[in-house]
Amino acid sequence: MTASATGEWAKTVLRRLRGEYPEARCALLHENPYELIVSTILSAQCTDEMVNRVTPELFRRYPTAASLAKARLPSVEKLVKSTGFFRNKARNITGMAKKVVADFGGAVPRTMDELLTLPGVARKTANVVLGTAFGVASGVVVDTHVDRLSHRLDLTKEKDPKKIEQDLMKIIPKEKWILFSHQLIWHGRLVCQARRPRCPDCPLEDLCYSKDKTV
Ligand code: SF4
């Protein structure tokens, strides 16, 4: 199976994912778009579990973009320290909050172009926010799991996340973009892990021809 012939192939993979992960959803705990964008920025190079451990206190102290925009950087750094790269992340989330207040009246914007103007927000984060907080299918989230599994399941040959996303957008129907990313992320976490995929337990094993397979 090759990336150029994957329309039907994608449907087969989608059917199987739907059967296995019909209710896959974002694992970052959040109650509104502001909390989701902060959590997504913090999740870079960090597990969602760790992000979920630090955000309750962060959101208790800074419940809105307006309050985070006024926060002292050292206080924010201390709160997000365990997510790694904390200086950068603290700068990004406070910078994002300041721009949301200055340019968007304190509300997280709802378009890709506007989201991409915010510090710390690239296409992946924007797709997460648009898809999960607003239900807008603007693209396919390509995180580390989607990247790895798209290759293992022969949905792309590209290496660059933007090109991987373009390949996926061509072969996955638009109405499935949001759920598809969640399903691949769940499959990547639960079964098809990076170092030791649990192939004997994998519900997609008969569809998989990856060189990483362990059976
Ligand atoms: S068979 Fe193994 S490598 Fe292939 S999708 Fe399943 S867990 Fe991943």
Q: Is 78 a catalytic residue?
A: no
pTM for this predicted structure: 0.93
Report pLDDT for 212: 96
Which residue has a Cα nearest atom 8 of ligand 1? Answer: 192
Using the predicted structure, report yes or no on whether residue 2 has a pLDDT greater than 60: no
Q: Which of 89, 124, 147, 154 is catalytic?
A: 124
Cβ-contact 151, 168 below 8 angstroms: no
- Residue 3: is its pLDDT beyond 90? no
Three-state SS string across 103-141, please?
Answer: HHCCCCCCCHHHHCCCCCCCHHHHHHHHHHHHCCCCCCC
Q: Is 35's pLDDT higher than 90?
A: yes
- The number of the ligand 1 atom at minimal distance from the alpha carbon of 212 is 3
Instruction: Give the C-alpha separation, 179 to 192, whole Å.
Output: 18
Complete DSSP assignment for 8-34: HHHHHHHHHHHHH-TT----S--SSHH
- Please compute the mean of the pLDDT values over residues 72-80 and round it to a whole number: 98
* pLDDT given for residue 5 in this prediction: 44
pLDDT mean across residues, the chain: 96
Per-residue pLDDT at 200 exceeds 50: yes
Q: Are 89 and 40 in contact (CB under 8 A)?
A: no
The model's pLDDT over 120-140, given as tens digits with 9 standing for 90+, comes to 999 999 999 999 999 999 999
Cα(108)–Cα(101) distance, integer angstroms: 9
Arithmetic mean of pLDDT, 197-201: 97
- Cβ atoms < 10 Å from Cβ of 73: 12
Q: Are 33 and 133 in contact (CB under 8 A)?
A: yes
User: What are the Cα distances from residue 82, in Å, to 46, 65, 88, 92, 157?
Assistant: 9, 21, 13, 16, 35
